[in-house]
Amino acid sequence: MAGANTLEFTDANFEAEVLKSQQPVLVDFWADWCTPCKMLTPTIDALAGKYAGRVKVGKVDVTVQKQVSAQYQIMSIPTVLLFKNGQIVKAFRGFTNEATLATAIDAALG
């Protein structure tokens, strides 16, 4: 279950919501059966709240959104990608803490 400011990205909306976004976008590739993914969810939701209006933060369920997951060669989850101007500027594999993700977001905003 996503937080109030956490978006859901899909195969259908990924290009419009992420690649064509005027703001940086943090994308969490996850699955419901993945324990580290569930551990990361509160962090993703907190970042979505902290950066609301400045950065889009959302999730891609790899078990449902297979096209986007394959396009970005998501082989292990959680994987968090930070996009700016449609390009990946930072990638994180495995559980990543909030401070590390926030530092990357701040750099993308800078």
Where in the sequence numbering do the catalytic residues fall? 34, 37
User: How far, in Å, CA of 32 to CA of 8, rounded?
Assistant: 14
Q: What is the DSSP string of 66-92?
A: HHHHHHTT--SSSEEEEEETTEEEEEE
